[in-house]
Amino acid sequence: MSLSLSDLLKRMLEMQGSDLHVTTNSPPQVRVHGHLVPLDLPQLTPAETKQLAYSVMTDSQKHRFEENMELDFSFGLKGLARFRANLFNQRGATAAVFRLIPFEIKSFNQLGLPAIVSKLCDKPRGLVLVTGPTGSGKSTTLAAMIDKINTERHDHILTIEDPIEFVHMNKNCVVNQRELHADTKSFADALRAALREDPDVVLIGEMRDLETIESALRIAETGHLTFGTLHTNSASSTINRIIDVFPSHQQPQIRAQLSLVLEGILCQSLLHRADSKGRAMCMEVMVPNAAIRNLIREDKIHQIYSAMQSGQDKFGMQTFNQALATAYFQKQITLEVAVARSS
């Protein structure tokens, strides 16, 4: 195939796609508004998929991929955008998925974020979680939040990412972004060092294990505004996920700790728009008040949903069903989509 990877990524941008899939015995495919669309090109051979994937890798990345048989990294193409790459082996051949990361960080208005999200960025300390399935725009929301802090506050922002996605230039803040493997050997090492680096705001990528979750709670507890992500679909399931990671004898202590440091949970999902022009974001918002903090501490997580329903007007909270109803009445999504996604 004569096309280079940059040619394929340009094609993806022209199609307003989000991901480029490169695998053997298939033409390159682009995900557009949630659906894969094959390009009008021949099927790729194993040699071609390897050549395309390796064309943007450093020697050390090639070595790590050949050793581990999978690799995450990010890169930028001048005049185009940044991309997050995931390489893996399948049936003995190289395959890759390249996700678009725009150079420009979108504003709260462009993303349609609820007003309460802006207030979470003003918190001096505590834990704020952005959750949702893969491809739901968590990184985009977090980038907008970090950019707001970078613009309006005079702080040190420290991020620990795998890999770095959106690049934040220093505005009113000093921003240090650390990438796994490139800037630190492990998440654990970076998190242990974080408190010695005088941060005000810490962004942890995915909170994927006990050690990372424990570190996030500790960093928030010691007076830092801490952001993290999880692949959970509701505020209640997020709280349960955090607590259930720990052994049973530790869970009462973790519930107490979480009830004190948690400042917000944003659970988001992207849904097909009614006008077929892309996707609309719906977001469940939980901002702990005294009642919710008590429910967390007393292990009454199942009662949080009703507390959120009644806290919409006073505290800016909304359940996912309330977000769906709002999106439907604003004609962003169809009734069929709203009903299919409601719980």
CA-to-CA distance for 340 and 343, rounded, in angstroms? Answer: 8
Closest by CA to 287, choosing from 315, 320, 319, is 315
DSSP state of 184: B
List phi, psi (to 5°) of 223. 100, 25
Looking at residue 279, its amino acid is: R
Q: How many CB atoms lie within 10 A of CB 86?
A: 15
Per-residue pLDDT of the chain (343 residues; tens, 9 = 90+): 678 999 999 999 999 999 999 999 999 999 999 899 999 999 999 999 999 999 999 999 999 999 999 999 999 998 899 999 999 999 999 999 999 998 899 999 999 999 999 999 999 999 999 999 998 999 999 999 999 999 999 999 999 999 999 999 999 999 999 999 899 999 889 999 999 999 999 999 889 899 999 999 999 999 999 999 999 999 999 999 999 999 999 999 999 999 999 999 999 999 999 998 889 999 999 999 999 999 999 999 999 999 998 877 778 899 999 999 999 999 999 999 999 999 8
Residues 236/319, Cβ–Cβ less than 8 Å: no
DSSP for 128-161, written as a single string: EEEE-STTSSHHHHHHHHHHHHHHH---EEEEEE
Residues 304/265, Cβ–Cβ less than 8 Å: no
Contacts of 3 (CB under 8 A, 6+ apart): 41
Q: What Cα–Cα distance (Å) separates residue 144 from each residue in 27, 101, 130, 138, 168?
A: 34, 13, 12, 10, 10
Tracing tokens 């930028």 back to the chain, one arrives at: 76
Cis previous bond, 46, omega within 30: no
pTM: 0.91
Domains and their CATH numbers in the chain: 5-101 (3.30.450.90), 108-341 (3.40.50.300)
Q: What Cα–Cα distance (Å) separates residue 263 from each residue in 100, 123, 161, 246?
A: 30, 8, 22, 21
Residues found in the chain: 343
Residues 297/256, Cβ–Cβ less than 8 Å: yes
- Structure-block tokens of residue 90: 């399948």
- Reported as a single tens digit per residue, the pLDDT across 227-279 is 999 999 999 999 999 999 999 999 999 999 999 999 999 999 999 999 988 89
